[in-house]
Chains A and B, each alone.
Chain A
Amino acid sequence: MTDKNRNMINRITRNSTVVLLLLVVVLFSSLSDGFLNARNFLNILIQVSGLAIIAAGMTLVLITAGIDLSVGSVMFLAGVISGKLVTGGMAVWMAIPVILLVGIAMGWVNGISIVRFKVVPFIVTLATLYIGRGLGLYISDTRAVNLPESFLAIGSHKILGIPLPVIIMIIVLTALHLLLANTSLGRQLYAIGHSREKSVKAGIRVDNILLKVYLISGLCGAIGGFVAIAQLGAISPSFGHQSEFTAIAAAVLGGTSLFGGRGAIFPGTLVGALLIQTIQNGLVIINADPYLYPLITAGLIFAVVLVDSHGKRTAGFKYLT
């Protein structure tokens, strides 16, 4: 394969999600008048903020060839604990540090189990998925936790006309993007994802870094949960259920490899998350059968991953997985 061909294929596969997003926008615009307007776009941005934040944390984990299945439960547990405390009389602003603490704690359990006790990330985070969900259900008596009005106010608060959830999303994604692209830690994540053994040999402090990554992922789960809760006003027992898979899907759609060593938050994961959310939003607007949503999302993931693996095969990308 010539370099020219290879570059072209690379460029197409790298941008296939962007192309797809544009196609989806065009499609829904032609199907409904209510889709293509600034207000709806802002809506999509608000709706996507929670997903984009946890998917950004997930991207870091995936780059190290790990996985974090617990983020959906982190969203739920952090929400339930802070919600219970707030309804029990705690000041609303105190909810924020509580939420973050729960995220850090869960991330720490994941990280320590992986680094110190050498348990496979899939198994560790599968366990914490159930632990988080179980604890949350226990604390909430398996009933929805209703939040006070003041909590919802955070979700609809605006700074310079931009809703707070969107601002939080921009801050978190920018920070993580800079971390990945412009810090030693970020670049070393890619090295670890390619080969843990080689990384150790190269003098990279692999364990220390992996611990940080799962802490960040837990933290992102908590922040993402907070942003989503602030829009809902109540935490149902199924809140955050399967969010980990949506987050993984967003990262993979954005070009992050499940085998590690490859991925980016911008445009990658952000576009992946936008794609998923835009389709959801569009389907609601055209009044599609809600049971179709998962099928359509599944088809989409299939299509993108197919293009991706084809690109990898033909472009000699076997080194990158």
Chain B
Amino acid sequence: MLKLHYIGKSFGPVKVLKEISFALEKGETLGLVGENGAGKSTLMNILGGVFEPTEGEIEFNGQPYHPLEVMDSLQQGIAFIHQELNLFPNLTIKENLFINEFPLRRGFIDHHDLHKKTKKLLEEVGLAQSPSTLVAELTNGQQQLVEIAKALKGRPRLIIFDEPTTALSQEETGRLLSLISELKQREISMIFISHNLDQVKAIADRIAVLRDGRLIAFREASQYSKKQMIRDMVGRDLEQFFPQRKTSPGNGNKLVVEKMNVDRVNQVSFKIKEREVVGLYGLVGAGRSEFARGLYGLEKVYEGHAEWKGHPYHKFKPRSWIKKGVVYLTEDRREEGILSFKSIMENVQLAALPWFAKRISGWLDFGPVRSQVKDKVNSTRVRYQNLDEQPVSELSGGNQQKVLLARWLMTNPELLILDEPTKGIDIGAREEIYHLINQLVEQGSCVLLISSEIEELLGMCDRILVMNQGAISAEFKKEDFDQSAILKHALKKVSE
């Protein structure tokens, strides 16, 4: 039904896709996996009409297929469910579904018809909410169902899901997966992109692996082991991927937090030693970020106290933490991290400027600032063209992240709280960030590493804490690391 013949795509001199060929049958589900930067999104954007391929041909339903814009692909029967939902929370479900083609009667919206049509689509995806519910009142999973209903409205023959389960709870994920198998019954083909290999294996008929723009494998899901899949994705065994540290954790506690209560976080206690990397694992919504943000002073702390290097601390304010040498790398790089239209220079110097100001006058001497910024930008290996002119928005995700890391290195941190530091980052930059973490730790800092990727935590941490429904449900020392046990503690219901 869908056939790709030697698809290639270049951006200038850079070839991001090379000779991709495969075919997808009617009603078949394809799992598409690969590291960030492997070319998955470029390939999907070609199918969606966002990019034009520089080489090769596509056939869809027996016809040559070259969409010129997004609407073309929709009309031909290809629908996208993007990771970032395109919904308007201030409007109702029915308005969201039909925002661009309301059923009209004498020029006015036919509310009766609108309601009826919406009701029918919601039944198809199994959403019981009234069509007049505001989208803001829905959970992430329900919003996703609305997005799927929107896709079904165009009677698609192929639906592409891009990381559909990242923002969903366990239960919602289950419901989504069963909906997907229902769609399969209706002979709708699907492409399912996910980092969650177990999910991909469970749901896909066949699996395609992309690495560095090439199709490395295209195999039956049932005969494809997860280990082999990882090897195909990364290009080597995973153990080598995480560099070893030369040091081991010291004895003294750097930070002790006791019984902290933040919204959605209950009585969390936690310790970190010098030269230690502690991992914080949990599902989305388990309270990992909330805990870290509370500690850092970005959420209201209702209760709890801390001890920093043996001294009690009660303030929980970012400014005072930064002065003490505690920094927080946000999970939301674009919204909370970078100043996208400012230069690398301005981004990196931001937090440390007070350090460089003269005592009384507050006069800033930019000479030392510049040399420090250059130093840090080099040590984090940011790839850039111009320190003062190039806006950070022009850099790749990985380089943006390195700019943020450089910003915090300017303050000589002793504890770095890194919230999903490798999210959306290509494999090379990822490795550099791991090396940087090790380097910092070897110099005496400690790191609280929050991540949804269990392999990353297994590879990088001295100790892993598992959070579940706002509380710490288990702790694993390095010698006891066990992926399935960690997962089990992250998944189980606390009430049991």
Contact check, B102 vs A184: say whether CB atoms are below 8 A apart.
Answer: yes
The residue among A194, A201, A261 with the most chain B CB atoms within 10 A of its own CB is A194
B136 at the interface (CB under 8 A from A): yes
A37 at the interface (CB under 8 A from B): no
Give complex CA distance A188, B88 in Å. 10
Give complex CA distance A202, B109 in Å. 18
Question: Contacts A190-B90, A190-B91, A261-B90 given: A183-B109 contact, CB under 8 Å?
Answer: yes
Q: Which residues of A contact B95 (CB under 8 A)?
A: 187, 190-191
CB distance from B491 to the nearest CB of A (A): 27
Q: Which residues of B contact A201 (CB under 8 A)?
A: 70, 86
Contact check, B90 vs A202: say whether CB atoms are below 8 A apart.
Answer: no
Q: Which residues of B contact A203 (CB under 8 A)?
A: 71, 100
Contact check, A187 vs B102: say whether CB atoms are below 8 A apart.
Answer: yes
Q: Say which residue of A183, A202, A261 sits within 8 Å of B108 (CB atoms).
A: A183
A204 at the interface (CB under 8 A from B): yes
CB distance from A112 to the nearest CB of B (A): 24
A297 at the interface (CB under 8 A from B): no
Q: Which residues of B contact A187 (CB under 8 A)?
A: 91, 95, 99, 102, 109
Q: Which residues of A contact B89 (CB under 8 A)?
A: 194, 319-320
A182 at the interface (CB under 8 A from B): yes
Give complex CA distance A203, B88 in Å. 13
Give complex CA distance A182, B88 in Å. 18
Q: Say which residue of B90, B99, B102 sits within 8 Å of A320 (CB atoms).
A: B90
Question: Contacts A182-B108, A187-B109 given: A204-B90 contact, CB under 8 Å?
Answer: no
A29 at the interface (CB under 8 A from B): no
A195 at the interface (CB under 8 A from B): yes
Cβ contacts A190-214/B at 8 Å (1 or 0 each) = 1101110011011110000000000
Q: Which residues of A contact B136 (CB under 8 A)?
A: 316-317, 319-320
CB distance from A289 to the nearest CB of B (A): 42
> What residue in chain B is nearest A204 (Cβ atoms)?
B100
A96 at the interface (CB under 8 A from B): no
Q: Say which residue of A178, A183, A184, A195 sits within 8 Å of B88 (CB atoms).
A: A195
Contact check, A188 vs B86: say whether CB atoms are below 8 A apart.
Answer: no
Q: Which residues of A contact B108 (CB under 8 A)?
A: 178, 182-183
> What residue in chain B is nearest A6 (Cβ atoms)?
B137
Give complex CA distance A199, B91 in Å. 12
Contact check, B99 vs A204: say whether CB atoms are below 8 A apart.
Answer: yes
Give complex CA distance A262, B102 in Å. 20
Q: Which residues of B contact A319 (CB under 8 A)?
A: 89-90, 136
Cβ contacts A168-189/B at 8 Å (1 or 0 each) = 0000000000100011100110
Contact check, A202 vs B100: say whether CB atoms are below 8 A apart.
Answer: yes
> Which 8 pairs across A and B sit closest by C-beta, in order of nearness?
A319-B89, A319-B136, A203-B100, A261-B90, A182-B108, A184-B102, A320-B90, A191-B88
A-B residue pairs in contact (CB < 8 Å), sample of 10: A187-B99, A187-B109, A190-B95, A191-B88, A191-B95, A191-B99, A202-B99, A202-B100, A204-B99, A320-B136
Given contacts A184-B104, A190-B88, A191-B95, 4 further A-B contacts (CB under 8 A): A183-B107, A201-B86, A319-B90, A320-B89
